[in-house]
Structure 1
Amino acid sequence: MTLLVVARPAAAQEILRDAETEALFAKMSKPIIEASGLSPNNVKVVLLQDDEINAFTAGGQTVYINSGLIEAADNINQVQGVFAHELGHVADGHVILADRGTKPALGIQILSLVLGAAAAAAGSAEGGMGIAAAGQRAALGSYLAFSRTQEATADATGAKFLNEAGISGKGMLEFFKKLYNEQYRYGYTDVDPFLQSHPLSGDRISNLRQTLMTAPAWNKPTDPKLEEAFLRVKAKLKGYVDDPKETLQAYPPSDQSIYAHYARAYAYHKGGYPDQARAEAAALVKADPHDPYFLELEGQILLEGGDPKAAIPPLREATELTNYQPLISTTFGHALVATDDKANLPEAVKVLKQAVARDDDNPFAWYQLGTAYAASGDEARASLATAESAAMQGDDQLAVLSARRAMAGIPANSPDWIRAQDIALTSQNALDDEKHDR
């Protein structure tokens, strides 16, 4: 994937960024978002490298989908069902309302500790411990009941969004059935429903079946182009995330499908077999010489294999075919910089400036732009680019130093100078707050 990997310590996972995957997510989610009354421009779908079959929201209008869920899904309609459920959480404000579940539970727990301490002080240590333990169980039960209610509400809201978007709810029920089967596969057959944060999968299916099966869209087929895009993304993700041996078992050389070439190209590239990786990428380009994502892959393999000059033609075409998609533009700009040819620097600066202007979460693009500026002799704007990258990654100290260095070399009150000043002030405030909290 011209997969840009971005660490997110707060989520304890890594964000995977890929142009083709993000295009798929945008297309599959747009009608559901519109049905919810939210704007597709504001809702983000983010892919995480995590083999757990899961998706979640954590505030704002962002839905996180684990790579394990993509691998587990059989079709894009199942992913749409999961997305609709998570969007239900967003639309219903469940993260904002989380305190309604945690505060009562915390109150129960604190009260039990106070009563337990009082009992212990009165001479009944065992009684005090029993009261505290009972309180903790009650607090947990209170929170889990609240969580189950939120999950059931999100199910209903998500089903409503699917129906209003004219998308079949088969995928939603199929995925819940998949989770139900997983319980039996791993022996979770005797589960206490009151100790779960989610309703049991069987109950979720029963509660949603009538709503989804009676909708006009129930038997509506998925757009074949959308399904094709999903199968491609699933294959390339497997090649990137899984152990190369596993990928080659799933997609042996005898399999000459597009999906197999895609998966093997990433597996070979990841495993350190450049000749085989190039051959698989070449097979893809031969099958469709003007597919931008095949060209992107070919260019990426050439670039990361040490031949940036050869990577430029396919990456330039991929960039143009996608109307300068920021992630692809970043890889193209990287190739131009990596040639160490000063004649390529003006184009590199132009392409990378477009990339950072259209993508507000791409520190690697800022890093490459800074490298291009430095190689061009523009140290002040190289420092500004470093400040932008550092600020995105939470390195406030480097952001302050770089921004101040940029301000010293950029004409005062110009747009770049004002931007450097903003970064310096914001990052310095963050540093001061951190010191204050210690």
Structure 2
Amino acid sequence: MPNLLPNLHRSTTLPRRPALSGGWKRAGAALAVLCAFAGSAVPVAAQTVLRDAETEAFLHDLSAPLIKASGLDPNNVDVVLVNDPEVNAFVAGGQVVYVNSGLVNMADSAAEVQGVIAHELGHVAGGHAIYNPGASDATRISILSLLLGAAAAAAGSPAAGMGVFAAGQQAAAGTFLSYTRSQEASADAAGASYLSKAGISGRGSLAFFNKLLNMEYRYGYSQKDQSSFWSTHPLTADRIQTLSDTYEHDPAWTKPDDPAMQTRFLRIKAKLFGYLATPADTLKVYPETDNSIPALYARAYAYHKESLLDRALADADALLTTDPKDPYFLELKGQILLEAGHPAEAIDPLRQATQLSNNQPLIATLFGHAMLSTEDPAHYAEAQQVLKDAVARDRENPFAWYQLGVIYARNGDIPRARLASAEQQSLTGEMGEALINAQAAEAGLPTGSPDWLHAQDIEFQARAELGGDRKK
């Protein structure tokens, strides 16, 4: 499963159920670029999830006080970053909030992202996930559902250049959106209450809504040319007024934003931009005259993508000069070396990163991958243990299962190699292959052993998802 940078893993669908030692677990995904405005109702299964240890820790800490304020169980609620340049966030069933990479790129502060998460938690707590009866995939409930961006948004609007809906389709869309209108208002109110209970100012939330209002104006949609389709949505200006009245009377209104969280946000944003954008765009936003930590982070990724190893390592080392024990800086240096074909040199920084991060599973997986990549049997025993520990703490990481399968195969343990392959394939939706490998694993494992039972579980799941009781 090729990746540009191995700690950012890939899957073609959103995961079934998240959770990990630091808060949540996800099938991995690679990152996509920048923000572009569009509010189309894209099927959830068409999306991919972005995995990065530092980003996951940040989102966990950012959302924790809001989840507590909502009354939801923190162990059951997850905030996940999605590979989508659209400025959006949504819920799609279960207690999971999905935040698009485009939204992070558009936001200027951690407080703005926090305001979005508070709103989406209002949808979760209110049980607002809506399923399209005409499709098998969950349909997004979006903070942008009030805007011009749903797939049906062009109905009656030739200037949008998106075609015209048939009368029946437009009526169905209107019914759907009239339902979501009340949910949006409810989520607004709930989100405001969560921010208040957590002692967080609503200034960030209002700042983000003002960005949306500017987008409405930029795209030329005014109230006078709203169709009945549009009238089913509350306008952003109306929501801003309502929320302003609420936030400005809240005791937390004048409370300063958390400077430590803002510092972490700027790191995350730069890191994602460096990975997502073209190197040329990265160097425009973060020029070489900028020696801040975010700029060094972004440029290290940009130079690495350009195969400029010396420059990438120079910026990674500059980061480590500011904090030699930062596990994410060490992880970055290890990644650069590994991707550049120097796995033996990557081992030391990745071992340190794994230890300093308390064996964070994504970082540990990269460490195991580096040891395997040396093709030195002296590293195999340690690599196997590291990868076994990683999947024990994060079972829904297909890249880790793939690496574990490789090490089992190299050690001659073919039944467990087949089991690891079945795990990986079930997570990436390759259920036919998962069934074959699970059956092969069962045949070679001791009957009744934990691994044999787990192979059976995968087999039963694969049969169910394939829609038939396939014979062995």
SS of alignment partner, residue 6 of structure 1: coil
Sort the Cα spacing of 1:426 and 1:167 in 2 relative to 1 into closer, same or farther, 3 A.
same
Alignment of 1:383-422 (within 5 A): 383-422=418-457
Q: In structure 1, what is the equivalent of residue 25 of structure 2?
A: none
SS of alignment partner, residue 381 of structure 2: helix
- Deviations along 1:264-292, one digit per CA (max 9) or x if unpaired, are 11111123322221221111112211100
Q: In structure 2, what is the equivalent of residue 15 of structure 1?
A: 49
Q: In structure 1, what is the equivalent of residue 397 of structure 2?
A: 362
- Deviations along 1:403-438, one digit per CA (max 9) or x if unpaired, are 122122221111111111211222123224499xxx
Give the letter for the 1:259 counterpart. P
Does the 8 Å contact 2:170/2:229 carry over to 1?
no
Distance 2:468 2:233 in 1: 38
Let me know the Cα RMSD of the aligned residues: 2.0
Does the 8 Å contact 2:92/2:130 carry over to 1?
no
Query: Shift of residue 188 of structure 1?
Result: 2.6
Give the letter for the 1:299 counterpart. G
Alignment of 1:373-388 (within 5 A): 373-388=408-423
Matched, 1:47 2:52: no
Distance 2:227 2:239 in 1: 12
Query: Of 248, 258, 262, which residue of structure 2 is paired with 1:213?
Result: 248
Query: Shift of residue 329 of structure 1?
Result: 0.6
Sort the Cα spacing of 1:428 and 1:221 in 2 relative to 1 into closer, same or farther, 3 A.
same
SS of alignment partner, residue 221 of structure 1: coil
Query: Of 248, 264, 279, which residue of structure 1 is paired with 2:314?
Result: 279
Does the 8 Å contact 1:303/1:335 carry over to 2?
yes
Matched, 1:82 2:87: no
Sort the Cα spacing of 1:275 and 1:14 in 2 relative to 1 into closer, same or farther, 3 A.
farther
Matched, 1:93 2:127: yes
- Deviations along 1:74-101, one digit per CA (max 9) or x if unpaired, are 10000000011111111101115877xx
Q: In structure 2, what is the equivalent of residue 179 of structure 1?
A: 212
Give the letter for the 1:362 counterpart. N
Does the 8 Å contact 2:87/2:106 carry over to 1?
yes
Give the letter for the 1:360 counterpart. R
Matched, 1:158 2:191: yes
Does the 8 Å contact 2:81/2:99 carry over to 1?
yes
Alignment of 1:214-363 (within 5 A): 214-363=249-398
Structure with higher Rg: it is 1
Which range moved further: 407-416 or 245-254?
407-416
Does the 8 Å contact 1:274/1:301 carry over to 2?
yes
Sort the Cα spacing of 1:382 and 1:136 in 2 relative to 1 into closer, same or farther, 3 A.
closer
Give the letter for the 1:290 counterpart. K
Between the aligned residues of both structures, percent identity stands at 56
Give the length in aligned residue pairs. Answer: 403
Matched, 1:5 2:10: yes
SS of alignment partner, residue 63 of structure 1: strand
Gaps of at least 5 residues in structure 1 are 100-131
Give the letter for the 2:366 counterpart. T
Q: Give the structure with the higher percent helix.
A: 1
SS of alignment partner, residue 237 of structure 1: helix
SS of alignment partner, residue 12 of structure 2: strand
Q: In structure 1, what is the equivalent of residue 34 of structure 2?
A: none
Distance 1:3 1:139 in 2: 39
TM superposition score normalised by structure 1: 0.88
Give the letter for the 2:389 counterpart. Q
Give the letter for the 1:85 counterpart. H
Does the 8 Å contact 1:34/1:40 carry over to 2?
yes
- Deviations along 1:215-257, one digit per CA (max 9) or x if unpaired, are 1111112222111110000000000111211111000111111
Sort the Cα spacing of 1:434 and 1:141 in 2 relative to 1 into closer, same or farther, 3 A.
farther
TM superposition score normalised by structure 2: 0.82
Gaps of at least 5 residues in structure 2 are 15-43, 134-164
Distance 2:311 2:229 in 1: 50
- Deviations along 1:204-225, one digit per CA (max 9) or x if unpaired, are 1111112111111111122221
Q: In structure 1, what is the equivalent of residue 221 of structure 2?
A: 188
Which range moved further: 264-273 or 295-304?
264-273
Does the 8 Å contact 1:145/1:194 carry over to 2?
no
Taking CA–CA contacts closer than 8 Å with sequence separation of 6 or more, which of the two structures ends up with the larger relative contact order? 2
